[in-house]
Structure 1
């Protein structure tokens, strides 16, 4: 059962992640390698995940851990899900839009989520039944409550994905184009950021034709606690469905009808 201690721990884990990742951002000696799936991984990714796993081994020794770099499984019990750097391509190129994602999943449902983007100076967090919040120092906000938009018609919606070409390589480009034609405007903010922007009410929808559990677990509880929905493209509510649609809730069914698999 989730407690305020779990959220406090997730926030502490995010602090620890920032302490590892931010000093390596734009470091002249940053090491970047290519994984078997051709996605990049840096020395900061592995160092960050190893640090968080070590902390969890001390603080929650009975809980399981699933991480992008070191693996694991999403079982039926309590599982901490870690993406040490979401947006590694941005990180490796010096683009400040990247974040560390920490989530607690219980019985297949995310119950705690923290998204920390230190190069942007931003953080978002949520726990089931406790609301969703953000810290935005540039606006003088230390703990602001999040709420999704009230846009109820796709024709008025602002929608995002990560990469148009990803839809093409999966043979699903027509679905994304159908959604963009139905919406007011489309962008490619991508990765963690567009989920957070939906939770903030800045975007109305975000869709990913392919995504991993560690990409979605923290975002799911954040968006749900802000009043929105995150499902896979079959309408399932677990974070391990392999793809995602994030909306303000009002638009979800209409958007899903266009991109459903």
Structure 2
């Protein structure tokens, strides 16, 4: 049985932007998949001691070129190159979220693409070709997941879980707070003691699992806008909540907590106690 075609009930303008976001993801998937698990991959270390590959830069360059051609007036914010443009419409790109996984041959990595209008995410696409999964959302149009083989608008709508007690909740933390100097180490420890189950799915995947209802909470103590921009709208359009660990809504707080909504306040209280 084939998956249904999911065309969100959104404006023609927003649908056009979502179409472009899918096109960008298609372009990225070709290059990232081609280079994954190949010998001789060029890897450098950035000033923040995180790895960057020739593929990270190559993908971002291709996506920037495509946006410049299709939407020359839009601004672009990316992980690997300086910001360009001056517009209330900003595309946010993480060419490979999970670069450490990518270089080690672990299939949990993705290209993250979002459109922000006046700082608010209105389009989000996360494409993980090694997992054959793509998640997407548009403002007021719902959140969806499909396969990379059927990219575009073929998939199913997703919803967060209905778990209401921390004692029944499944939590993922990207950094388990083992660094005793971390501001949130004690808080993460307290939260893990209150939930049913804790795992470290990490990066984009944990927030997508929240959106799908597979887990109930995901937290990150240090993260950038491009790591989160599409995830925020995907989680919210699936019925959840997305904020910084400071409780401020949005993907630009430098930290992150995604949840099914019902558990959000209790999780924040535990983390910040």
Structure 1: any 5+ residue segments left out of the alignment? none
- Map 1:32-71 → 2, pairs under 5 A: 32-71=43-82
Match of 2:6 in 1: none
Match of 1:259 in 2: 271
2:200 to 166, 179, 188: 188
1:174 aligns with 2:171: no
Change (3 A) 1:73 1:235: farther
Alpha carbons 2:171, 2:216 under 8 Å: kept:
yes
Compute the displacement of 1:166 (Å). Answer: 6.2
1:127 aligns with 2:127: no
CA distance in 1, matches of 2:14, 2:164: 34
CA distance in 2, matches of 1:54, 1:74: 13
Match of 1:242 in 2: 254
**Structure 1 segments (4+ residues) deviating >3 Å:** 73-76, 165-169
2:218 to 195, 203, 206: 206
Structure 2: any 5+ residue segments left out of the alignment? 1-10
Change (3 A) 1:75 1:54: closer
1:106 aligns with 2:114: no
CA distance in 2, matches of 1:144, 1:175: 35
- Map 1:7-86 → 2, pairs under 5 A: 7-72=18-83, 77-86=88-97
CA distance in 2, matches of 1:84, 1:135: 20
Across the two proteins, how many residue pairs are aligned to each other? 259
SS of alignment partner, residue 115 of structure 2: strand
TM normalised by structure 2 equals 0.90
Cα displacement string for residues 190-245 of structure 1 (whole angstroms, at most 9, x for unaligned residues): 00000000000001000000110001100001000000011011111231110000
CA distance in 2, matches of 1:166, 1:66: 31
Change (3 A) 1:169 1:9: farther
